[in-house]
Amino acid sequence: MNVNRRTLVLGAAAVPLVSTIRFAGAQTAEFNYKYANNLPLTHPMNVRAQEAMDKIREETSGRVSIQIFPNNQLGADTDMLSQVRSGGVEFFTLSPLILSTLVAKASISGIGFAFPSYDEVWPAMDGDLGAFVRGEIEKSNLVVLDKIWDNGFRQITSSTGAIESAEDLKGFKIRVPVSPLWTSMFTAFESAPASINFAEVYSSLQTGIVDGQENPLAIISTAKLFEVQKFLSMTNHMWDGFWFLANKRAWEAMPEDVREIVAGHVNEAAVNERADVAELNATLRGELESNGMAINEPDTASFRQKLADAGFYGEWKGNYGEDAWAILEKAVGTKLG
Ligand code: X2X
């Protein structure tokens, strides 16, 4: 955790995204809740979440007021996960892989090269695989809403050179999010992975603590990582999303009919956000190139082979168990490893 940055942000009183002026009732709302996340204001996740929160306030006649704190204003992911558990924040969106530090099997949707395309992602996450993971999350005393939000297929960026094959990942100093699956994957590639929260990614790249990172195009663009990275390699090495989590006590404090309104609008926003991110994926390459990035499309065969040879798939099959692995393989339509 970068103490300076945090102190600075909190010192500036962490200005919420939502203006409370429009609904003078916000102060007197029955449920005054906070939704924290790690993404810039301009990312579709925050744009769609804002729409949902506006609709929720309207439809509950001001009884529910949810303020959005984007961009790690309330802390890095690891801190925010503690906060949503304790009730310091009521809502939080988190990658299934980072959530696996609390709910071990939650990361299963992020296995390298498991999903060939979005055509398999949404039926899986809205179907059996998602239901399996949500069941695991609920055991941990957190509430999770039905629809997972999209982060996207992840691509590798670098300041030192294009990644053309698995060979180029050897010894590569790459930032990965804080999650055993991410570390395991890049260890299998023989890279030098460093676990760093997203809050510190831009500065780690800028100061050269790491040479690269991996994220979907929508994040590379909205977090302006092109300012500190030159090469973008379209590895599509895994799909990632964001589960919309709620503190259980705060969730259950709302009456059933109010909960339904909240869940309905948040889930609707998730589905809209998926479409926004898909559109960005299709249009952002030109923008990133005009911002100076050199883009290449490596053949992914060597990456998959490397993971298989390193025993990556066998190890994770063992971690999740036969039953969970069978749900994954059915969802992605192929044997893995
Ligand atoms: O930390 C990341 O790289 C991010 C923003 O993609 C996640 O939340 C996993």
Q: Which residue carries 């092109």 as its tokens?
A: 226
- The protein residue with its alpha carbon nearest to ligand 1, atom 5, reads 198
113 and 199 assigned to the same domain: no
CA of 128 to the centre of ligand 1 (A): 24
Give the count of beta carbons closer than 10 Å to the beta carbon of residue 332. 21
> Rounded distance, CA 105 to CA 111, Å?
11
**For residue 243, what are the β-bridge partners?**
94
93 and 142 assigned to the same domain: yes
Token pair belonging to 322: 């036969």
Q: What is the number of helices (H) and of strands (E) in the chain? A: 14, 12
Q: What is the mean pLDDT of the chain?
A: 94
259 and 296 assigned to the same domain: no
115 and 165 assigned to the same domain: no
Q: Is 13 exposed, middle or buried (0-12, 13-18, 19+ CB in 10 A)?
A: exposed
Residue 333 lies in a domain: no
The pLDDT assigned to 14 comes to 58
272 and 223 assigned to the same domain: no
Q: Percentage of residues in the chain with pLDDT exceeding 70?
A: 92
Q: What is the mean pLDDT of each run of 10 residues along the chain (337 residues)?
A: 44 52 63 98 98 98 98 97 98 98 98 97 98 98 98 98 98 98 98 98 98 98 98 98 98 98 98 96 94 97 98 98 98 93
CB within 8 Å of 257: residues ≥ 6 apart = none
> Rounded distance, CA 287 to CA 267, Å?
30
- The protein residue with its alpha carbon nearest to ligand 1, atom 9, reads 95
Contact 46, 40 (CB under 8 A): yes
CA of 152 to the centre of ligand 1 (A): 10
Q: Which atom of ligand 1 is nearest to the CA of 197?
A: 1
107 and 41 assigned to the same domain: yes
Radius of gyration of the chain (CA): 20
306 and 270 assigned to the same domain: no
**For residue 176, what are the β-bridge partners?**
195
Contact 47, 86 (CB under 8 A): no
The pLDDT assigned to 282 comes to 85
CA of 231 to the centre of ligand 1 (A): 19
Token pair belonging to 120: 């398999």
- The protein residue with its alpha carbon nearest to ligand 1, atom 1, reads 198
CA of 98 to the centre of ligand 1 (A): 9
Which CATH number is 160's domain given? 3.40.190.170
Residues with CB under 6 Å of ligand 1 are 38, 95, 98, 151, 177, 198, 215, 219, 240
The pLDDT assigned to 27 comes to 60
pTM value is: 0.93
The pLDDT assigned to 127 comes to 98
Residue 217 lies in a domain: yes
**Which of 154, 215, 244 has most ligand 1 atoms within 8 Å of CB, for mutation?**
215
Question: How is the beta sheet containing 231-233 ordered, strand by strand?
Answer: 192-195, 173-176, 212-215, 155-158, 231-233, 294-296
The pLDDT assigned to 3 comes to 44
The pLDDT assigned to 18 comes to 55
Contact 155, 220 (CB under 8 A): yes
The pLDDT assigned to 6 comes to 44
Residue span of the structural domain in which 161 resides: 155-237+290-328
pLDDT digits (tens, 9 = 90+) for 225-238: 999 999 999 999 99
174 and 202 assigned to the same domain: yes
Question: How many structural domains compose the chain?
Answer: 2
Give the count of beta carbons closer than 10 Å to the beta carbon of residue 242. 22
**For residue 195, what are the β-bridge partners?**
176
CA of 332 to the centre of ligand 1 (A): 22
CA of 75 to the centre of ligand 1 (A): 14
Going by C-alpha positions, the residue among 222, 216, 271, 213 that lies closest to residue 238 is 216
